[in-house]
Amino acid sequence: MTVYNINLGIGWASSGVEYAQAYRANILRHTNENAKFIFMDLILADNIAHLTQNMGFRHSEIIWLYQFFSDIPIHPTTMTVEEVLSGVVGTPEYSEKLSDRVVRYFYPETDSFVTCYFVRNSNQLVEHAEFVFRGNLLRKDYYSTKRYLSEFFVPKDGVAVCYNRTIYNSDGTTAYEILIENGEEVLFRFKNHVCYGRTEFIAYFLEQLQFTTEDIIILDRETDIGSIVFERAVRDGAKLGVVVHAEHFSDAIQTDDYLLWNNFYDYQFTNADKVDFFIVSTQAQKDVLAAQFAKYTPHNPKIIVLPVGSIDCLKMSDYRKPFSLMTASRLAGEKHVDWLVRGVALAHEVIPNLTFDIYGSGGEEGKIRETIEKYHAGEYIHLMGHCDLTDVYQQYEVYLTASTSEGFGLTLLEAIGSGLAMIGFDVPYGNQTFINNEENGYLIPLSKHRVEDVIAKSFSEEIIRLYHTNALSYMRNESYRLAEDFLTKNLVEKWKKLLVEEIAK
């Protein structure tokens, strides 16, 4: 049996879907079943091996669509500057450091230069390089242990336009080529096969995997690939599972006769008769989804409750910084971290020893920084960036979340597993799973009007209440008690049961 987990992309600041997959990888290792994690997007800014390794995946678990047809394995970059420049005629006369990760090497005699983009925290290992001749970008090369991909460019209206991508084998021969028109991949040319467009390419890739009735396909994201995956699973007889990672419908558009599914799940739900099982993270979501299938569709699919994350053990601590608050998430609009900043600033007026650390990165960082400055809170509210939080949570006393919807909430699980008291909105499904109101924290009612002044005041009041009622010790114990249900050993047994049942069908 092989469990194939299908996703699109991955980055340094990944979403909950990628974190859920990383947790699942750990669980499946404990079941001793073979697991592969497939990424379908073209990923060029970083070597995918670095991105997946950063999340905790093993290189042997990763299949990348674009590298699958090459014999070069997924591997961290080992290409040095000297190796890159050895392929260039002549010797660079001088270089210019453009940033910590970018250095440009100049060849005045040929009116050319090479720009090297280094692996993070390295000034010798090159992830990719750009080759410019007489002011025109000619080629970009991408490296792991070898050059595995090149992009070729021509100038058009003063802009470098990519017209070809070539993927290589370890001996330098061409594995296949991609022809590009107007930014679209229009043709994939192999030695004995041609695919017209990306859809055919993905279908050809899935065909090469040779699924069997002993295999299970788990679809984590379906955008632009759902129908291809469904068709191949049905054709090969593989079991097909779909993970529902977020709220699956629009509460604002629901009548007795009509329900608007989340567009990320509409295809899967519409074709639920072809799905062997759906996975949700909480019993509450299963109850809602099952009732909606019964009311709005002719389908009655199997829905399984399997938390997308687990903790190997409870993280205890002999010391926590007094009056310390934290949050951890992508710094995205839907996380509303700026609301938390305002709430903490108000609470700080009453409890001047409060500190608040914000972990994560993302597009809202500038807005959050401006909010911190607006409330003159820079001395006690800090942006900590993206980092490994394995041994960080237990240094704090309270976890705050202003997300208005969480399908599960992996950071919430990690927080209760480290004994933090919790404060967040009374919304499905993560907050209601990990915050027992008045027991291990406080749930704040969320008005549809979402007046920010009211929200900030609500957070400040609950922070103040928590400290003034001396509830911290009791809530810490309740968080630990709640977290015990999500220990890895318990989830491993649930996954074993699922895999056995599906293959036995």
pLDDT at 388: 87
pTM for this structure?
0.84
354 vs 250, higher pLDDT: 354
1.10.520.20, 2.40.170.20, 3.40.50.2000, 2.60.40.420: CATH of 2-69+201-305: 3.40.50.2000
CB under 8 Å to 468, separation ≥6 — which residues? none
What's the mean pLDDT in 229-256?
Answer: 90
Cα–Cα distance measured from residue 172 to residue 448, given in angstroms and rounded to the nearest whole number: 59
What's the mean pLDDT in 266-289?
Answer: 95
Cα–Cα distance measured from residue 152 to residue 72, given in angstroms and rounded to the nearest whole number: 20
As a whole number of angstroms, the longest Cα–Cα distance in the chain is 75
Cα–Cα distance measured from residue 415 to residue 359, given in angstroms and rounded to the nearest whole number: 13
3.30.420.40, 3.30.470.20, 3.40.50.2000, 3.40.640.10: CATH of 324-486: 3.40.50.2000
pLDDT at 254: 79
Question: Half-sphere exposure of 351 toward its Cβ, with a 13 Å CA cutoff?
Answer: 20
pLDDT at 408: 83
Q: Please give the helix or strand (H or E) that residue 424 lies within, else none.
A: strand 421-425
What's the mean pLDDT in 450-462?
Answer: 94
| pLDDT tier, 12 (very low <50, low <70, confident <90, very high otherwise) | confident
pLDDT at 42: 97
8-state DSSP, 67? G
What's the mean pLDDT in 254-277?
Answer: 91
Report percent pLDDT > 90 for the chain. Answer: 86
Say whether pLDDT at 502 is over 90. no
* Domain extents in the chain: 2-69+201-305, 81-189, 324-486
**Count of all residues that appear for the chain in the document:** 505
pLDDT at 15: 81
Asked whether 19 and 52 are in contact (CB, 8 A), the reply is no
Give the rounded distance of the alpha carbon of 230 from its chain centre: 23
Judge if 2-69+201-305 and 324-486 fold alike in CATH terms: yes
**Nearest residue to 36 (alpha-carbon basis) of 210, 268, 237, 218:** 218
Q: Please, what sign has the CA dihedral across residues 263, 268, 269, 270?
A: positive
**Which amino acid is present at 361?**
S
Cα–Cα distance measured from residue 255 to residue 421, given in angstroms and rounded to the nearest whole number: 38
Cα–Cα distance measured from residue 308 to residue 315, given in angstroms and rounded to the nearest whole number: 19
Q: What contacts 24+ positions apart, CB below 8 Å, involve 488-496? A: 488/26, 488/27, 488/30, 488/310, 488/311, 488/312, 490/310, 491/27, 491/306, 491/307, 491/310, 492/27, 492/30, 492/31, 494/306, 495/27, 495/28, 495/31, 495/306, 496/31
pLDDT at 183: 94
- pLDDT, tens only, 358-388: 999 999 999 999 999 999 999 999 999 988 8
Residue whose tokens read 């006369």: 93
CB under 8 Å to 477, separation ≥6 — which residues? 419
pLDDT at 258: 83
What's the mean pLDDT in 178-194?
Answer: 97
CB under 8 Å to 282, separation ≥6 — which residues? 305, 307, 408, 428, 429, 430, 432, 433
Cα–Cα distance measured from residue 19 to residue 25, given in angstroms and rounded to the nearest whole number: 10
HEC per residue, 340-404: HHHHHHHHHCCCCCCEEEEECCCCCHHHHHHHHHHCCCCCCEEEEECCCCCCCHHHCCEEECCCC
Q: Please give the helix or strand (H or E) that residue 268 lies within, else none.
A: helix 266-270
Say whether pLDDT at 448 is over 80. no
Cα–Cα distance measured from residue 203 to residue 53, given in angstroms and rounded to the nearest whole number: 27
